[in-house]
């Protein structure tokens, strides 16, 4: 069979791209290797930037988000056993963020696509792409145990950090930049009402901790742990005690505790693959870049990539000019490196390196104190956290 754009991967990037293309009248097919339940339950990000919400609204995918999403007008950073709040609207001229889980964004996009969108195949694993060098790509995949091919004009690699589409680009044409951080996040989901209205990012002598949420009755929390930590090795009491110790402030309250329903360990890594386009092969989202999660940028970057990509493909289809497509990689990479820097800043300001010297800890505290004392520094943090406008 044949289509205009073969979208490989049914995560947030692939699903949103398919919706945007479909609404521009461009044919596409989404191939997703996992089953629907798996894709809809995969616990990941939870923070949507203003621009991400705007993009979902503009394509009619924000009905439930607008009903159930939690609007957050600020965030708290803690260090030296004191909390410091950063007020987004006043620091950014009205921007804010939403707490709405990636699982819910994915569920909403899948439901819309199955109702009135382009074809979406689950259990369809792409094994490779041929013909890209000749400008006539063919996507090879297996579905229900049988091999299939899909010919197309463009292949969108929205297939995540272990994706295969990237391999269609000759090695010599790609460069990957990478930074591995010497710690991981231990994330839990708990049946407990959040212990406060806003997110709390904490620096402490015991390491980083983050208090987030999924709903008025479900908390999401993270602890910095050494690489290679086994999540099963911690008892629930140990997890809560450690969270409480790291999140503690003078005169603060205890955390609301409840049953831990999910746990996982995620190593922290930043990487960028350049360029994000080679001929008819286009990369978007985690397939092209990863950021450490401390700045909550991963999902938001995936969305801004595909907004730019859909626009470029629509311009190409409508006018025949490829200017926006030619500019796709550099336009994305500018945002990606800004987000990479912000994620590095948040990560290194708040985590403790193994064997970190007292000198370096004092430097971290000086960096954090500046956020509290300088309105310029606070405004820079808020602008990055709420996300730069998509131009």
The residues annotated with a catalytic role in the active site are: 72, 201, 293, 297, 385
Residue 212 touches which of ligand FAD, ligand DHB, none (CB < 5 to 8 A by kind)?
ligand DHB
Q: Which of residues 111-170 bind ligand FAD (CB under 6 A)?
A: 125-126, 158-160, 163-164
The CB-of-228 to ligand FAD minimum distance in angstroms stands at 16
Stretch that binds ligand DHB, among 40-48, 141-149, 225-233, 282-290 (CB under 6 A): 40-48
CB-nearer residue toward ligand DHB: 121 or 264: 264
Identify the burial level of 113 via C-beta atoms within 10 angstroms of its C-beta, where 0-12 means exposed, 13-18 middle and 19 or more buried. Answer: buried
- Binding partner selected for residue 34 from ligand FAD, ligand DHB, none, CB under the kind-specific 5 to 8 Å limit: ligand FAD
Q: Which stretch binds ligand DHB (CB under 6 A): 33-41, 190-198, 271-279, 289-297?
A: 289-297
Count Cα neighbours of 332 within 13 Å in the Cβ-side half-sphere.
32
CA dihedral 329, 177, 294, 246 (to 10 degrees): 180
Q: Select from 120-128, 190-198, 269-277, 288-296 the region that touches ligand DHB (CB under 6 A).
A: 288-296
Nearer to ligand FAD, 32 or 104 (CB): 32
266 binds ligand FAD (CB under 6 A): yes
**119/283 Cα distance (integer angstroms):** 20
Separation of alpha carbons 113 and 29, rounded Å: 11
286 makes contact with ligand FAD (CB under 6 A): yes
Q: Which is nearer to ligand FAD, 29 or 126 (CB)?
A: 126
CA 54 to chain centre: 16
Out of 4, 23, 24, 34, name the contact with ligand FAD by CB under 6 A: 34
Rounded to a whole number of angstroms, the minimum distance from the CB of residue 6 to ligand FAD is 10
* Residue 273 interacting with ligand DHB (CB under 6 A): no
Which of ligand FAD, ligand DHB, none interacts with 159 (beta carbon under 5 to 8 A by kind)?
ligand FAD
Size of the site for ligand FAD (CB under 6 A): 31
Listed ranges 14-22, 39-47, 105-113, 354-362: which one lies at the site for ligand DHB (CB under 6 A): 39-47
Q: Does residue 219 belong to the site contacting ligand DHB (CB under 6 A)?
A: no
Among residues 52, 212, 329, 384, the one that binds ligand DHB under rule CB under 6 A? 212
* By CB under 6 A, residue 10 contacts ligand FAD: yes
Cβ-closest position to ligand DHB: 46
In the complex, the smallest distance separating the C-beta of residue 10 from ligand FAD, rounded to whole angstroms, is 5
The size of the chain, in residues, is: 391
Residues at the site binding ligand FAD, with contacts judged by CB under 6 A: 8-14, 31-34, 39, 44-45, 102, 125-126, 158-160, 163-164, 266, 285-286, 293, 296-299, 302
Interface contacts to ligand DHB, rule CB under 6 A: 45-47, 199, 212, 220, 293-294, 296
């Amino acid at each position: 069979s044949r289509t205009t754009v073969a979208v490989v991967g049914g995560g947030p990037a692939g699903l949103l791209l398919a919706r945007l293309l479909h609404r521009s009248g461009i044919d596409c097919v989404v191939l997703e290797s996992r089953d629907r339940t798996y894709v809809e339950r995969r616990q990941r990000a939870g923070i949507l930037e203003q621009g991400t919400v705007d993009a979902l609204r503009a394509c009619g995918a924000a009905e439930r988000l607008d009903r159930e999403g939690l609007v957050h007008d600020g965030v708290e950073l803690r260090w030296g056993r004191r909390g410091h709040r950063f007020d987004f609207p006043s620091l950014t001229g009205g921007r804010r963020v939403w707490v709405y889980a990636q699982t819910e964004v994915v569920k909403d996009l899948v439901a819309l696509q199955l109702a009135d969108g382009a074809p979406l195949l689950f259990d369809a694993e792409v094994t490779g792409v041929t013909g890209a060098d000749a400008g006539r790509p063919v996507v090879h995949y297996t579905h229900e145990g049988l091999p299939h091919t899909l010919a197309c004009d463009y292949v969108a690699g929205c297939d995540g950090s272990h994706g295969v589409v990237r391999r269609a680009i000759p090695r010599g044409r790609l460069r990957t930049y990478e930074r591995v951080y010497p710690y991981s996040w231990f994330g839990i989901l708990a049946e407990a009402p959040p212990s406060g209205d806003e997110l709390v990012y904490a620096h402490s002598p015991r390491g980083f901790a983050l208090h987030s949420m999924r709903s008025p009755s479900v908390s999401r929390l993270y602890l910095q742990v050494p690489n290679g930590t086994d999540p099963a090795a911690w008892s629930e009491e140990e997890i809560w005690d450690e969270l409480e110790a790291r999140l503690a402030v003078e005169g603060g309250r205890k955390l609301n505790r409840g049953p831990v329903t999910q746990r996982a360990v995620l190593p922290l890594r930043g990487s960028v693959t350049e360029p994000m386009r080679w001929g008819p092969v286009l990369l978007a989202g985690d397939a092209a870049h990863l950021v450490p999660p401390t700045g909550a940028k991963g999902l938001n970057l995936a969305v801004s990539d595909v907004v730019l990509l859909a626009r470029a493909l629509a311009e190409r289809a409508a006018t025949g000019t490829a200017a926006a497509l030619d500019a796709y990689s550099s336009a994305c990479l500018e945002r990606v490196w800004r987000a990479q820097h912000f994620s590095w800043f948040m990560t290194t300001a708040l985590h403790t390196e193994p064997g970190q010297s007292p000198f370096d800890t004092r430097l971290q505290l000086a960096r954090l104190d500046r956020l509290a004392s300088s309105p310029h520094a606070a405004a820079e943090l808020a602008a990055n956290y709420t996300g730069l406008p998509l131009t």
